[in-house]
Amino acid sequence: ALGDEAENRRLGEDYRTRGCTFRSGGEETAPEEDVDCEEPENATNPQCIEALVSGDALAYQFQDAVAAYERAETSRNAGDMAAATPLYEEAATLLIGAVNADPNHRDSPRALLLAAQALVYTGRNDAAARIFQRVVDEVGPLDARGDAERQLELDHILAVAYFSLATAARQSFDYVRALENYRTLAESARFERSTDPEMPGMREDSVVESARMLEYTQSYADAATYYRRAAEIIDDPAERRAAYFRIALMSYRREDWSGTIREMNAFIDRYRSDSAAVEEVVEAAWHIHEAREAARSSASDRSAALRTVVDHYSRLGGTRGSMAAEYAAHARFILAEPTLTEFEDFSIDAGH
């Protein structure tokens, strides 16, 4: 019978719900001594049978919970959220129940993570956040360095929990909490040394999001530091260019005019031959003009900055109707009519 899954499930359920015993006469008597159930000759010992059946019962409980989650995933991937939502609710209940039945089970960390993700798909974000936090609290202290494969699995589960907590906080406009979790993922030595193939992508996203959160909270100097880190690790050329531009923009945001001129010129030098960067290069040149105005630079320096705006627009082939075209047009206007001081406070909000 012990090789029959259906019979094992029945025995396990009896053991779990009715306290059935496998000892002689049905009596719950303690064994005289512990038995090594790893030894083949003890396979039929009542103590070993009880351990096997109770273990099987828990294994089946986790197995059924994961199967419910996979059914929900199948429906979601097919675009049928009406069918997926109740399946996710069922899966979350089963997964949490399995973990509560045996918090120390090997599959408990993964089950908790799946339960939280299931709750996200049902729209129960607050409940999901509590489970993600439970993952952090319970999985964080676990250490399986003697088992590389297990350590990789735990690192992945913990990283996903931190990233999910940060994302949930960001979506709730709780930027302080979001930043705390993003920075943990970005800075932790544990995640830096992890061999999880998905870890570099999660850490890269966390660095970028940390920079954005710092910018939103007006911590511009720290934001510039994180944008610089992002620029060094991002592979996508457009995203890397955007990170370098925002390094310079942080000086402009904090009204550091000498820093603005220095950083914007550094950005222009990096991308002066890249036609794909025309929008950022022309905007950078315009911000140099603004910085020179604010710093009360000489008239010749201010005029030179305006000519640079026009030159970069023409040289990199800016397109009509773009924000770069707006900057260039106004620079031409000021150069042509320098006495029209009522336009000197002109500014363009490019959404940056």
Amino acid 1: pLDDT: 44
Q: What are phi and psi of 264, to 5 degrees?
A: -65, -40
Predicted confidence (pLDDT) per residue in 117-169, tens digit: 999 999 999 999 999 999 999 999 988 878 889 999 999 999 999 999 999 99
Average pLDDT over residues 74-79: 94
- Residue 249 CA to residue 204 CA, distance in Å, equals 20
Average pLDDT over residues 297-303: 93
What is the H or E stretch that residue 151 is in?
helix 148-171
Amino acid 60: pLDDT: 77
Where is average pLDDT lowest: 49-53, 203-207, 269-273?
A: 49-53
- Residue 348 CA to residue 340 CA, distance in Å, equals 18
Average of per-residue pLDDT values in the chain = 84
Comparing CA positions, the residue from 149, 143, 142, 133 lying closest to residue 197 is: 149
pLDDT band at 11 (very low <50, low <70, confident <90, very high): very low
Average pLDDT over residues 60-79: 89
User: Amino acid identity, residue 249?
Assistant: L
Contacts for 71 with CB less than 8 Å, ≥ 6 apart: 87, 91
Task: Indicate whether 18 pLDDT > 60.
Answer: no
Q: What is the DSSP string of 47-99?
A: HHHHHHHHHHHHHHHHHHHHHHHHHHHHHHHTT-HHHHHHHHHHHHHHHHHHH
- Residue 243 CA to residue 258 CA, distance in Å, equals 20
Task: Indicate whether 252 pLDDT > 60.
Answer: yes
Running DSSP on this structure, what letter comes out for residue 30?
P
Comparing CA positions, the residue from 269, 338, 264 lying closest to residue 302 is: 338
Average pLDDT over residues 289-307: 94
**Angle, in degrees to the nearest 10, between helices 148-171 and 175-187:** 160
Task: Indicate whether 4 pLDDT > 80.
Answer: no
Percent of the chain with pLDDT over 70: 79
Task: Indicate whether 51 pLDDT > 50.
Answer: no
Comparison of pLDDT for 142 and 40, the residue scoring more: 142
Contacts for 209 with CB less than 8 Å, ≥ 6 apart: 166, 170, 178, 182
**Angle, in degrees to the nearest 10, between helices 46-77 and 81-101:** 160
Running DSSP on this structure, what letter comes out for residue 33?
S
Amino acid 89: pLDDT: 94
Task: Indicate whether 305 pLDDT > 90.
Answer: yes
pLDDT band at 102 (very low <50, low <70, confident <90, very high): confident
